[in-house]
Amino acid sequence: MTFSLTDYQQQLEQKHQLTLDEFGEFDINRIDVFASPPEQYRMRAEFKAWHSANGVSYAMFEPGSRKAYDVETFPAGSVVIQTLMPKLRDHLNAHEILRRKLFQIEFLTSTKGESIISLVYHKFLDEQWQASAQNAAQHLHARLIGRSRGQKLVITDDFIYETFEVAGKTYQYQQLEGSFTQPNGFVCRDMLNWAAQHSAGFGGDLLELYCGNGNFTLPLSRNFNKVLATEVAKSSIHSALHNCSLNQISNITFVRMSAEDMVGALDKVRTYERLKEVELDEYHFSTVFVDPPRSGLDPATNAFVSRFDNIVYISCNPISLKENLQLLYRTHRVERMALFDQFPYTEHRECGVVLRKRKN
């Protein structure tokens, strides 16, 4: 499969057909396909700070090599990223203290127009740097963060807010710098609506593993009586709790635990201090939602998931998803599958699967 910056629809159809071919053994003959905007879709971007006699500029490395390419424009970037890039470059080149020993530049933006710029250095950031950074933040109308070994200096805030409309309701999300967020805001909105639509009639309670900042948890909570959601990252749990309060949702309990530990707790293999105020026996789970890392579900978690009547599985890696489905397909049928094109012009594919327990 090859990609260029032209013929996006043809490239998307290639991904669609490849996914149909790969997952045909699970009796899948239809896939819901969600396209990305062809430009201005990335809410996050990361660049190497490239230093030369002409000053600092943006660069990216060729995948799998150390060869760097100068980046003059970045059409994939959000409108805010594309607006900030030249302004920031010019400001850095006019202020040596901000430019010196800078090696990485990161942008985090939202569809609302909010932004954070993170500048990463090979030097200690002193009071003189902070004063110059405050001036830069005001000039750029952006939040700004400086990072160096053992340092994180926040100018104003280290988070932005994003909003998504799901099933006619608007949800607000705090997105923390340095924590995971979906890179393509437009496709993320499609993912949320798809998951909410195809779990709408399940009822009962929901268990979610790998919940992050509550991205899926908040809209899915409308479909269930109660939700128990787990995440191992402390910063993500803090944002999830904040987002739950921000959206005035009262039927979600977030717990900072790994998926493996939650499986052990539910199976009563051992008890955990973090669950001392959670009455696990009061939950009547009909459904499990998982959005695991690229490695997919480990064998024990996959076997555990197979015990639920309904499974909603979002995957960033078709290879690990297919491996997990080899087991899940023995007990469940695939009711719905989707292809979410988070990364146009690449081979990356994001998939969603809804599975229902087979009736004997």
Which of 162, 208, 231, 350 is flagged as catalytic?
A: 350
Total H helices, total E strands in the chain: 10, 17
User: Within the chain, what is the greatest distance between any pair of CA atoms?
Assistant: 72
Helix H or strand E segment including 87: helix 79-94
According to DSSP, the residues that pair with 175 across neighbouring strands are 160
R_g (Cα) of the chain, nearest Å: 22
User: Measured between alpha carbons, how far is 23 from 338 in angstroms, rounded to an integer?
Assistant: 11
Distance CA 340, CA 322 (A): 16
The residue count of the chain comes to 360
Among the listed residues 312, 351, 329, the one whose alpha carbon sits nearest the alpha carbon of residue 32: 351
In the numeric block, which tokens belong to residue 204? Answer: 């009962």
Cα gap 101→150, rounded to integer Å: 16
Helices (H), 156-311: 185-197, 217-220, 234-246, 259-266, 299-305
Q: What are phi and psi of 266, to 5 degrees?
A: -65, -30
Specify the 3-state DSSP secondary structure of 98.
Answer: helix
Residue written as token pair 């496709």 = 187
Q: How far apart are CA 129 and CA 151, in angstroms?
A: 13
β-pair partners for 166? 169
Has 316 been annotated as catalytic? yes
Whether 277 is a known active-site residue: answer no
User: Which is catalytic among the residues 188, 211, 244, 316?
Assistant: 316
- DSSP string of 144-200? EEEEETTEEEEES-SEEEEEEEETTEEEEEEEETTS---SBHHHHHHHHHHHHHTTT
> Helical H runs in 247-344?
259-266, 299-305, 318-331
Distance CA 162, CA 98 (A): 28
Q: Which residues are catalytic?
A: 316, 350
